[in-house]
Chains A and B, each alone.
Chain A
Amino acid sequence: MNITRRQFLQYCTASAAALGLSQLDLLKLEKALAAYGDPNCYGAPHVIWFQGQSCGGCTLSILNRMRIDADLTGDGVWPGIGPMGNYVQDVVDLLVGDAVGHLALGGARTDVGAPDNWGAFPKGYICLDYQTEVMAGAGDIMMDYVTSLRGGTEPYFLAVSGAMPIGDHKRVVAGRPPRFCISGSLDTDDGDGVRERSITEIVEWLALGSSCAGVVSFGTCASYGGIPAGKRNLTQATGVYNMLVNYQKHPELAAKIVNVPGCAPHPDWMIFPIAYFILTGTLPPLDTTGAQNKVWRKRKTDGKYAWARFENPLNRARAIYGGEADKGYANFCQVCPKKSAVDFCEDLGAGAGDGDGTNPKEWCTRPVGCNGQYASPDCPTRRWNNFDDHTRNNWCVGVNYVCQGCAEVDFPDGRSPFFEGVKNGS
């Protein structure tokens, strides 16, 4: 999309009250836009995204918010999509929408054959430098680029999706090659030179970089372990916070780690910490109550498998995952339209939808396993699959399904079995 800096600031001024921005914030924004002057990045903070034991869902979710076709001719029209300017509704749109070409470019490497008309390329506000699913380069040229970013002076965010296998961390510490999750071949300054590196080594190396402004864990897997950390998993998977602070012993990183749980998280949730940082220079207010992270491993004392338990702060943004004081409600049941339903649904498959309230599918699904009473994010109000004009679309409960509790610390084991519920719905 093609929007001038002046238009962007005018828009922000008009929306300032709605966004909760003060005049001071707007001044900072103006300075921030001017300060990020790196020509390679079109004026945007760097984001390096590495994947651990991930399914790729977090990437797909955030791609819903980004466009791959750029407005290359600068006339405000995107191929096949139509004028973007009319549909902009909030700052997040502006911030993310402008990042398009960087996804296609794989980090604004100007020596990988940029066509001539990219001189008219719009300014990007997130420079997604490295992301295996969408970047243009592969192999050692991208590893060299990441190494140069880590050693450089510009601040970067380390975005991580997917779980961290502690099994690999233990192998590396013992001097053996990792084998559960190799995310690239590079030199992480440990004396071994260029060799296959586990995601555990790469995340530790990048998080310890002096230019690292923050570590954002996308998804329940990177936040708390998620599905790869389910009972009986063989890799001792866990989240990024648990690995960096408790296993790799870097407590000074604790304040820099923001968790964005969800399976997959809403793209707005993922953009929020980075957008907040661009606007204010700090990470957003976090919910730091403690919760248990569990790691499934073979116990040294008797050789049996059991959970290793760690009490870690949740470190998730309060504006999205908070309680009544932060977003107006603490769990889904407080705002669910099915709360006043006539009866409780005993069978998800029964009946056909006709909208008059007599259909079992329109009744509260707690007896069949809805986890809404434990769920913390803002799905009922923000909803999912939103179009550019932000019509509030659908969400899991709204399509007559159950809430899986996918953003909670104990997903999936604490939410399983998913289709058994509280029978009397009280």
Chain B
Amino acid sequence: MTASQIRPAPVRRNIFVKASLEHAFAVFTAGFDRWWPRGHSVGSSPQKMAVLEPEIGGRWYEIGEDGSQTQWGEVMVWEPPHRLVLTWRVDADWNCDPELHTEVEVRFTPEGDGVRVDLEHRKLEAYGERAQEVRAKIDNEKGWNGLLKLFAAEAEH
């Protein structure tokens, strides 16, 4: 890490929801499966259910049609009904990577006759750092190079 590194700006979105603060927070968390788009899926099997366990340390995961579970991250900060911070360990190719650490913060603020929901996805530079590590691992004797040598040795028998 250099002192002046490039940090991709966080992605920020917000939306206004005409509902009470408590209701909005409950639907977002305990009711996660009711609204999460099915197409936003990581598992090898089509997504049957998406779960956000409503507690600190709770798991954030999906359940596939075949019953398999794929974890996306976990609950880091749990401050109902105002704030929620989750880790998001899904890479750009929709693979889960337990070593990847990006964060999604969601804040719920009363506004007029509803709630303003602010979402921030940050620490995006982790994608780059992780990809670099993975590349280094693959690029050595134990990784693809080694496998290719084994393959070549076998193929040349």
A and B interact: no
Q: Which residues of B approach A to under 8 Å, CB–CB? A: none
